[in-house]
Structure 1
Amino acid sequence: MIRWWVSALQLTELFVSTANVNRIVKEEENKEILTTTETSVDDLPPIVLVHGIFGFGKGRLGGLSYFAGAEEKDERVLVPDLGSLTSIYDRARELFYYLKGGQVDYGEEHSKAYGHSQFGRTYELGHYPEWDEDHPVHFVGHSAGAQVVRVLQQMLADKAFNGHENTSDKWVLSITSLSGAFNGTTRTYLDGMQPEDWRNMKPICLLQFCRLGTIIYDWLDISWLKAYYNFGFDHFNMSWKKKGIFGLIDCLLGNAGPFASGDWILPDLTIQGSLQLNSHLHTFPDTYYFSYATKRTRRIFGINVPSSIFGIHPLLFIRVLQMSQWRHPPDVSPPYKGYRDEDWQDNDGALNTISMTHPQIPVEHPSQFVGHDSDCQPLQPGIWYYKIVEGDHILFIVNRDRAGVQFDMIYDSIFERCRKHAFRKSQQTLPDEIHQ
């Protein structure tokens, strides 16, 4: 009887010990999986979402997402806050230091030429300080943000950042453009830029009201208001603390500030301004390129008209109609050799569709139209793959409900392409593949 009890106790002890061992082993496995997952996420190249004109980054407008929450679709996404009206050049400089860290340096020569401070805000610790050729990034740019990324890549190739002599175009793994402004837009002329003098505005136009409002906003320099939203002109020192009342008058009269020097976004978005930028920009052989061009027009009886009434945002409908009827002034020299009005009539209310597919002026870059995703697999670097999507310019930002299922389809395909199809040495391991 005693032996039976002893045997029973031994079996019980063995069972409990085995259970404890299994529990400990399981906990260690879970810790190992968790650690591996965290390490793998940290090893993933960041996907950087770059906003367009009048845009904003993370933390602005009370936490509103410019990309309508698309940044939550991947484990490692960055959403920088760049100047919403500053020039493409200045924004590219800001983007570099946002990632790498340090004080924004706009360059001595550029700063003197355009009359602003050489140095801007300081990023004590960059959001991706290890950024280099072995740790590249994916960029996704909306509207003017796409051209900002191209300018930044060219700066990297040209080693244009003091103290960072090892930069190269290979720091950029892929560029995805969402309604990107590569070749300018005829809307700039409708809003007030002069076709014959693309750096300057007409005396009375919509952009003049924008100019006056921006100058006053920056001059007032209300800290909580600028923390909520900022046009990005702090390096022009237009605050009342530095300019005073006479400085304000000088800016309003057009004698000083970004609008006087032309160092702001609109001149860069004219066809002539884009041509000037593009003449220095390359498509690089080790970078993957993909663009989504949007349009909200169709041709009826030989005339381009808006393709929908209810499918176009009310703020853009009139502009879709106006841009579809645009005619370059006959008494003004065309913006480039071979220009034709009919090429520029399809549009999304802000940009012409021809501007969004791939860089085309002054020289057309290698490109391939994509009807189905299988048309571009496997992806080849150095080629602009592009799709044409039915939608207006703001369909895929701010309000995801407007795009519905199409929103998820677009961003899911973008992130999947970044993670599974755009790589150099070996295919990346996805976090959800670690458990398999």
Structure 2
Amino acid sequence: MVKRSKCKKLGALLLTAALTLSVFLPSTVSAAAKESESRQNDYPIVLCHGCNGWGRDEAFGRLAFNTKYYWGGNVDFQEELNDRGFTTYTAAVGPLSSNWDRACELYAEIKGGTVDYGEAHAKRYGHARFGRTYKGFVKDWGAEDEDGNINKIHLIGHSQGGQTVRLLSALLGEGSEEERAASGEKVSPLFEGGHSWIDSVTTLASPHDGTTLADVKGTNKFAAILLSAAGSTLGNFQNSAEIYDIKLDQFGLKRKSGESLKSFLDRVFKSSMWTNSKDNCAYDLGTDGAVVQNQWVTAQPDTYYFSWGCLGTKKALLSLDGHQVADPLIMGDKKLYNAQWAAQAAFMGSYHRKDYSREIPVIDEKWWPNDGYVNTISESGPHYGSTDVIEDYNGTPEIGQWNFMGTKHIDHEDIIGRNWDGALDFFVETATMLSQLPK
């Protein structure tokens, strides 16, 4: 009994010493060590932008919005994450294209090779089957390592980018029966199915059920006016791709020699891709198009799914119906674009309908809270037309279903680093969480 008592006293002294020592150790060292030890995978992260987004080498953001990087504003989130040991790449897909076309481009950018939009899809929408050729971010993506494990990636998509990465994950997992039938032995690996190459999908302020902002007739014309005005402001540059690369080669939409950017953008919005087609961003972002995608784009059983919502509105003081308007403390930092954001927020904050011919027939007060571009209710995951399971995150990631991480009181742009001081920490925390997912 005496010996056991002495052992207990000695153990208590050692425990006290250890706890005391930990207090005086620099917190950054212990945190870094803890993070390093907790990493379970080193899969690369690929960032996919939303509608009207731009690449890291394009000057559009700086000239039009005084924001150099899509991801980070004037701080390069890609390199910030790389510096912290998280291998990260920034994709640049068609800013006005459909989710299908964007997913095909994203696949080629990551894997390397020529974009294949699919024989059946290309014929249906009247554009070329093949697009640009890319070197590839992760050329061994999908291959087995020396231990027999598949080299996977983490995908993070903002806004429409969330719809795009979901679609890519479904195509890799399930393929396309239509494309396999149309192409036979020449079918792209993207459409084969059976590829468990994506470890996680994270969506930020994404319109999984669409945004009512895109449901309004004339949305395309409004977008055309804005982009044409931007093109006019940017002037007549020799190389438009260095300013804003539209990436609509498949529709034959390339800037002519000596053509001004404004003239080129005007021509883009007069294209048949808008007037006679559903193969564009406007359709996919609307509630009808989003539900059609939800009906076949399902969560894969071997992939983790995370979603974040944003809220930048509040109830209007003078509204008896509880309409929502932009919260000036959140959205009042857009300078020249303040009026535009306020108008968008107010429209979504009061829009309602009862039309049983629509995919989502009833739009009511549940849809009014928004982040300036997307209805907050749409951002947790696909509800309409979908069989996916969506659960509030409880601290333990569940695979094969949506882990809804919560709603942040910030606007649609804040979450990717524009005018929110906490954005970089948020991305580091997200990358850390993804690295802790088991292989």
**Common fold, TM-score beyond 0.5?**
yes
CA shift in 2, pair 1:210/1:110, >3 Å: farther
1:70 aligns with 2:80: no
Amino acid at match of 1:385: N
Q: Which residue of the other structure, out of 64, 80, 84, is the alignment partner of 2:91?
A: 80
Alpha-carbon distance change, 304 to 237 in structure 1, aligned in 2, over 3 angstroms: same
Q: Distance in 2 between matches of 1:253 and 1:78?
A: 30
1:325 aligns with 2:335: no
Aligned to 1:348: 371
Deviation, 1:115, is: 1.7
Q: Which has the larger radius of gyration?
A: 1
Deviates more, 1:314-323 or 1:277-286: 314-323
- Cα displacement string for residues 109-143 of structure 1 (whole angstroms, at most 9, x for unaligned residues): 211221211111111x3111111160010000000
Q: 1:115 aligns with which of 126, 129, 134?
A: 126
Deviation track 1:302-357 (CA, whole Å, cap 9, x = no partner) reads: 613236213204242221122111122x5x43533663412211110100011110
In structure 1, give the amino acid aligned to 2:385: P
Taking structure 2 as the reference length, the TM-score comes to 0.73
Q: CA deviation at 1:90?
A: 0.4
Question: Which residue, 423, 427, 431 being the options, matches 2:438?
Answer: 423
Structure 2: distance between partners of 1:390 and 1:145: 21
CA distance in 1, matches of 2:369, 2:96: 25
Give 2:281's aligned residue: 265
- Aligned equivalents of 1:409, 1:212: Cα separation in 2: 36
Aligned length: 356
Aligned equivalent of 1:303, options 322, 327, 332: 322
Counterparts of 1:267 and 1:215, CA distance in 2:
23
Shift of 1:409: 3.5
Give the Å deviation of 1:396: 2.3
Report what 1:143 is aligned to: 159
C-alpha spacing 1:172/1:240, structure 2 compared with 1 (3 Å): closer
Please give the alpha-carbon distance, in whole angstroms, between the structure 2 residues aligned to 1:151 and 1:360: 15
Measured against aligned partners, the alpha-carbon deviations of 1:389-417 in whole angstroms (never above 9, x if no partner) come to 11111112353xx111x213321221111
Instruction: Give 5+ residue unaligned stretches, structure 2.
Output: 1-38, 63-67, 144-149, 180-186
1:383 aligns with 2:395: no
SS at match of 2:154: strand
Determine whether 1:157 maps to 2:168. Answer: no
Mark the runs of 5 or more structure 1 residues left unpaired by the alignment: 1-40, 194-200, 425-436
Distance 1:381 1:102 in 2: 30
Distance 2:205 2:298 in 1: 19
* Structure 1 position 130 matched with structure 2 position 134: no
Task: From 413, 426, 432, give the equivalent of 1:394.
Answer: 413
Alignment equivalent of 2:391, drawn from 368, 384, 389? 368
CA 1:113–1:166: 2 relative to 1, 3 Å: closer
- AA aligned to 2:118 is G
Tell me the distance in 1 between the aligned counterparts of 2:413 and 2:217.
18
Aligned CA distance change for structure 1 residues 50 and 210 (closer, same or farther; 3 Å): same
Paired amino acid for 1:88: N
Paired with 1:415 and 1:158, the residues of 2 have a C-alpha distance of 27
Corresponding residue number in structure 2 for 1:231: 246
**Post-superposition shift, 1:89?**
0.7
RMSD: 3.2
Name the SS for the 1:310 alignment partner.
Answer: helix
Give me the whole-angstrom Cα distance separating, in 2, the residues matched to 1:111 and 1:166. 17
CA distance in 2, matches of 1:104, 1:216: 31
1:90 matched to 2:101? The reply is yes
Q: 1:216 to 1:413 in 2, by over 3 A?
A: same
Query: Identical aligned pairs, as a percentage?
Result: 26
Judged with a 3 Å threshold, the aligned counterparts in structure 2 of structure 1 residues 140 and 188 are, in CA distance, closer, same or farther, namely same
